[in-house]
Structure 1
C-alpha cells in the first residue's frame, strides 16, 4: 500500500517541475501533505501513540490544510498567478527533473547501508533536488517558497528512510521551519509586495531603506 503512495508522490514532483500556475503549486503541496500523512500512518503505526499523534497532526493539519491555505491566501492577495515566462522553459525544467531523478537513483544505488530504506531515501533525495531546481530556475519568490516546502517534505521522507522511529525533535524542527517560512512569505507579500509591485527575487536588490 505504501508503494503506490510513493509513486504518486514522485508524479507530483515531476508535475511540479513543469507547471507554471501558482494555484497548481499550492494544490500539489496540499496533495503531498495527504500522501505524507498516509505514508506516516502506514509506516509508523508501531511507534508510541503520542509521537504518532504529533506526526499525524503535523502532516494532516499543517502540511495538508494550513500551508496550502496560506499559499492560496498569498495568491489572492497579490493577484499573481503564473510563473514568469522568461528563464527556463517547461521542457528544460522537465529535463532537469529527469536528471535529478537519475542522480537520486544513482546515489541511492551506490549506498551499501542496509539499515536505510532505499526507496524512501531515493524519493527523499529526489524531492530535495526538485526543490532546489524550483529555487534555481524560477525567478518568483513564490516559487522559491514552494521549492523550500518541497525540500522540507524531502527531509520528512529522509526521516522515514532511517527507520520506523522518528525522533520528536526532528518533527519539531521540520514544523517550525515550514511555519516560519510560510509566515515570512505571507508577511512579505501582504506588507511589502504591494509597494514593490513585483515579487521577483532580483527586485529585492533594488529595495532601499
Structure 2
C-alpha cells in the first residue's frame, strides 16, 4: 500500500501575514462554538452548522478545507501542491456563486515520511480512524476536510483528511480514514499564521525572552 504524504497546507485568504496577538485572542473567544455537533456524518448541513467548512478545488481536483482564522485555511498538501501556478479565489460571504481577486498562498516545509515494510506502523504525523456506526464515510472531495472533536465545549479540528478506503459506498469491516495530525504541526501553524493556543503563545514568548537574555549577556561580556 502506498502511503500518501500528508502535510498541513496553509492558504492565506487575503494576505499571508500572521494573526496579531489581539486577533488570536479574539479567535479563541469565538472559534469552534456552534449550536450543533453535526460534523462529518455524511448528511446535508447548513452553512451555520459547519461555518469552518470550505470547498478547495479547481478544474482538475476537488477537495475540502477548514477555516482556522479570518485569513487562513487548513487543507491537505495533495489538494494544493500539484497546482501550477497555485490559485485560490474568495467567494463573497455566504455566497455559493461568484469569484473575487486571486489570493496568495503560503508555502511551508514538507517533511518526508520514512515508509518501511510494516503496513500497520503509523507515523506520528498521521492517525487512523473510522466511524463506530459504520455510517460515516469519506470519499473523493473530502480530502483536506477536518476531523472535528468537541474539546471543552469547543469544536476543535484534530485532523486533516488524507486518505480513505472509499472504494465504494459499501463500508467494509476494515474501512478507515487516514488523517494528518494537526496537533503534530501546532507549533509550526502557530509560527506561520499566529493561530495559537495560549500555551503555544506563552511558550513562544518565553523562547524569545530567553533568546534576548542570551544576546544581552553576550553583548555585556
Same topology, TM > 0.5: no
Q: TM-score, normalised by structure 1?
A: 0.28
Instruction: Pick the structure with more helix per residue.
Output: 1
